[in-house]
Amino acid sequence: MDKDRAIPDGYMTVGGLAKKMKTTVRTLQYYDREGLLSPSAQSEGGRRLYTDRDTVRLYCIQSMKYLGFSLDDIRSRLPALETPGDVSAALAGQAEGIRAQIAALSKALDATEKLRAATLKMASVNWERYADIVALLRMGNEHYELITQFDDKLMSHIRGFDPDGGKRLMDTFKRLLREGAELPRHGIAPESARGQHFAKEWWDYVTEFTGGNMGLLPELVEMSGKMDGFGGSMGEEWKTAQPFVEKSLEVYFANLGYDPFAEVKP
C-alpha cells in the first residue's frame, strides 16, 4: 500500500500501463531498451512511471507495429507529441495506415472468395490451375474465372503469354463476346457487312490466341461447348452470342472458300 501511495497523481506504474493497453510488462521493458517508450519518471522507490501522454505514444507504437513497420521505422516516425498538432498528425498517420490495411485486407478477402468460387467450378483438385488463378488475381486480372474452362493443353499454351499480352487477349475475348450478344439484339444479320466484320475480328482473335497453331482448335471447340453452362454474365452472354458467332463464321469461311473448324466440329 505504501508503494501505491508513493505514486504521484497522473502517473501509473509499468504494470498499470500494461494492463490499460492490454500488453505485457516485458513488452514495455523491451520498448524502453529499444528507445521507443521510456518512463516519464521514477517513484521514490525506483519504480518506473508513465503518464497518459505515454499511453498515446504506446498506442502509436502498437498501431505501427500492427501495420508491419519495423522498430527502426517506428522509432523514426514517432512524433514528439508536444502539441495538439503533433497528436493530430500522429493520429492522422495512424488513420491513413489503418485505411491502407483495411483496403489490403478487403482486396485479400475478395481474392480469397473469388478463388473459392472458381475452385467450385473445377471437377477436381488442380494445384497448378489454382496457382494460375492466384497469379491472375494478384495482377488484378478479372478474367480469372475464364481459365477454369481451359483444359491442360490450353493452359499450357496460355502460360506462355506475358501478363500484359494475356490480359489484352482476355479483354478482346470479352469485348467480342459482348458484341456477339448485342449485334443480334439490334437486328444485325450474321451475313451483313457488320456481321462479317465481326466474324473477321473473331477469327483474327482466334488466330492471335493460338499463335497460328490450328492444333488448338479442337480444345477451343470443346471449351465453347462448356461455355453455355458457365455461370454469371459470361455464360448468359455466350448463350446469346453463340448462334451469331457460329453463323457469321460459317458465312465468313464460305466466302473465303475454306473452313478451318470443319474437321473438329462434332
Q: Which of 1-5, 75-79, 80-84, 144-148 has the lowest mean pLDDT?
A: 1-5
Q: What is the mean pLDDT of residues 165-180?
A: 84
C-alpha to C-alpha distance for 189 and 195, rounded to whole angstroms:
6
- Which of the two residues, 199 and 217, has the higher pLDDT score? 199
Q: What DSSP state is assigned to residue 192?
A: S
Cell of 29: 521493458
Query: In this model, does residue 199 exceed pLDDT 80?
Result: yes
Q: What is the pLDDT of residue 218?
A: 79
Q: Is pLDDT at 123 greater than 70 in this prediction?
A: no
pTM: 0.48
Segment 257-263 mean pLDDT: 79
With a cut of 50, say whether residue 1 has pLDDT above it. no
* Tens digit of each residue's pLDDT (9 = 90 or more) over 207-228: 988 888 888 887 777 777 666 5
Residue 232 has pLDDT above 60, yes or no: no
The sign of the torsion formed by the CA atoms of 12, 16, 20, 21 equals positive
3-state DSSP call for residue 167? Answer: helix
User: 2-102 maps to which CATH number?
Assistant: 1.10.1660.10
Closest CA to 242 of 155, 167, 184: 184
Name the percent of the chain lying above pLDDT 70: 75
Q: What are the residue ranges of CATH 1.10.1660.10 in the chain? A: 2-102
pLDDT at 202 over 70: yes
State pLDDT tens for residues 56-89. 889 888 888 877 778 887 887 776 666 777 778 7
